Structure 1
Amino acid sequence: MKTPGNWKRLVWSLRRTPGLQFRAFVCAIFVCYSVCWAVIEPALTIVSSQDQSVTANANGWFKYLFFLALSFVFGAAYFLWRHLPPASVSFLLDNTNTRVSVAFNDFFAEAGHKVIAVNDFFDGQLGDVISERSLHGQFIQRFLGGVAAAFYGLVDPTLPNLAAPPIVRSQGRKKAYPIGTTAVAELNSTKYFFVALTTTDPTTHKVHADVPQLWQALHGVWSKVRECAGGFSVAIPLLGGGPSGVGLPDVILLKLILASIVQETKKCRITDEIRIVLHPDTAEHIDLRDVVRDWS
């Protein structure tokens, strides 16, 4: 999973706001045209006054087209420099001392501890129960060889004891935990915060979540991060996207995560840095410049 390239991010930005980007491009060319004219025209005038042959051989239309082409080149370069959407941003969250970084990247390639959403049963069986495409499934496949028992060995020691009766299911575990329950497991010096986000249909194994559940899960995981992260940076994906089925646009999910950080930080500091890691495909819908403008 690669970070989207410069050209791809630029094309997506042009698609989001074509009118605004076109006006900015025209203004950039006009500014560079004015600068080129102001700098080069006096120089040509001085040369012409010293050597009349230069003036005699110079063609007015050629000079004009030269200025126009030069302005276009410099204008395009200036436009790209000013308007190319960044692949990552970092800023202090407004009215807090918490640094937030947002980046398009492979989640597991990010440094620091990590938050991963799971279903309410904390299942570990890949296939019908846990999708291998989810981060939950990718973790089990990538780090535990796809072995469910290895996952249970990591999370069970930190899960609370529940007195609730078992739930009848054809596959998977029988004990469901409240949304927001968070298990903390350490693997290769990295702490993983597995937070219950979705409820699971006991028959079809399909998971789903809504906005109140997302908010409750964020509250639960931030409380556990505050307790166990030790001030180190923590990476969190775009919770509520993908198989969880919250059904909101990516940009709204990002705003909900940022709002939850603000709310929890005002209660008590969570950790020094929180890294929100977005799937590279979400760059088509999210402009990180807007994030910095609205939240810093």
Structure 2
Amino acid sequence: MTTLKAFFMKNYWRFSFSAKNAVKSLLAVFAVIWLATEIAAFFSGAIGDGIKANWPYFFLIGLLWTIWESRPRLAMTERVAGKDATIEIRVGDCFELDGALVIGSNADFRSAGIDRASLQAQFADRYCDSSERLGTMLEGALAGEPHSWRTTAGGRVKTYDIGTVARLDAGGRVAYFTAIAELNEYGKAHSSPGHIEAALAKLWSYLAHRGGMGPLVVPVLGSGLSRVGVTRLELIQTIVRSFLAACEARKFTEKLTIVIHPRDFRDHEIDWEELRFFLRYACKYYETGVRASDAARGAGALKR
């Protein structure tokens, strides 16, 4: 997503644009121009008069600067206090960013017949050539993992615990497929906030013991077809809190990037400024033992 496109989204004007900051920016520009005019007039009346005569152009410069300062910020980054780790939240496409991908999956790790818009299907198309090959790779990666059997209309299938991780290296891209949802009798995925929290805890543990140390790219897990009954803002906060708790025990990456799909940024009420305050205070007070949720409430109070 480009900054220009974000300018025309109602959620930007509703949640991110600040009229107060825009006015402050405009007044600051005019103050600089006024000061420059006074200084120029002190040394040369002709220069001062020239500036005054062309005030519409300087007014336009002030407006352009204010627009630039008020532009949508589509990424934010904070360093975790006391740790060599940063958390970035950005609007974009997971596949365009460097780092190992985290992809939510169903507990059966079924790859056939899944929605073509899902990240799992997109990964198959980009790096595995087909869903069938992805299924074969997942089966190999899960060899030896604890599982049970369940009966479906198509026969008996293996199912794994929530939080089970399958590491794939396909087409030069590493991805950690993580079970975050269970399939019902109709083949539809269903998850819950508890499932997301459990899956994240097991994912961080897996990465600490069996993963690499490179950057991680994580979508807003549970925001797609998993039918989790909470907002995307709450899901992002859950990922941040879980990551910070895991950082306290061990180090497994130096950068976590949480990616919000442009469609979600456009269609759903994601308060960018509230998210910025949450991330800043959660990372800042992590070292002092203040819970991220408590820090977020404090940030909200200061914001108001």
**When the two structures are superposed, what TM-score results if normalisation uses the length of structure 1?**
0.81
Matched, 1:177 2:160: yes
Q: CA deviation at 1:161?
A: 4.6
CA shift at 1:131, angstroms?
1.1
1:132 is matched with which residue? 116
1:144 partner amino acid? C
Q: CA offsets per residue over residues 159-214 of structure 1, 9 Å max, x none? A: 245463x3221248612211111111222333221110001112x11111110000
Secondary structure (helix, strand or coil) at the match of 1:251 reads helix
Structure 2 unaligned residues grouped into runs of 5+: 284-304
Q: Deviations over 1:87-125 (max 9, x none)?
A: 333332234321223222221222121111100111011
Task: Kindly provide the amino acid, as one letter, of the partner of residue 88 in structure 1.
Answer: A
Match of 1:223 among 182, 198, 205: 205
1:119 aligns with 2:118: no
1:145 aligns with 2:129: yes
Is 1:186 the equivalent of 2:169? yes
Find the residue that maps to 2:158 and give its secondary structure.
coil
SS in 2 for 1:184: strand
| CA distance 1:188–1:172, change in 2 (3 Å) | farther
Matches within 5 A, 1:1-296: 3-9=1-7, 11=9, 12-16=11-15, 21-41=18-38, 43-44=40-41, 47-48=44-45, 63=52, 67=55, 69-70=56-57, 72-126=59-113, 130-148=114-132, 150-159=133-142, 160-162=144-146, 164=148, 166-171=149-154, 174-202=157-185, 204-284=186-266, 285-287=270-272, 289-290=276-277, 292-296=279-283
When residues 282 and 293 of structure 1 are mapped into structure 2, their CA distance, relative to the original with a 3 A threshold, is farther
Q: Which has the larger radius of gyration?
A: 1
Structure 1 counterpart SS, 2:152: coil
In the aligned structure 2, how far is the partner of 1:290 from the partner of 1:119? 33
What runs of 5+ residues in structure 1 fail to find an aligned partner?
none
After superposition, give the CA deviation of every residue in 1:44-68 in whole Å (9 maximum; x if it has no partner): 47655x79xx98xx9xxx958x54x
Q: CA RMSD in A?
A: 2.9
Q: Find the counterpart in structure 1 of residue 301 from structure 2.
A: none
- Change in CA separation of 1:206 and 1:63 when aligned onto 2, cut-off 3 Å: same
Aligned length: 276
Q: Secondary structure at the match of 1:167?
A: strand
Distance 1:172 1:96 in 2: 49
Q: CA deviation at 1:286?
A: 4.8
Q: Structure 1 residue 234: deviation in Å?
A: 1.8
Q: CA deviation at 1:157?
A: 2.8
Taking the aligned partners of 2:146 and 2:31, their CA distance within structure 1 comes to: 73
Q: Is the 8 A contact 2:105 2:181 kept in 1?
A: yes
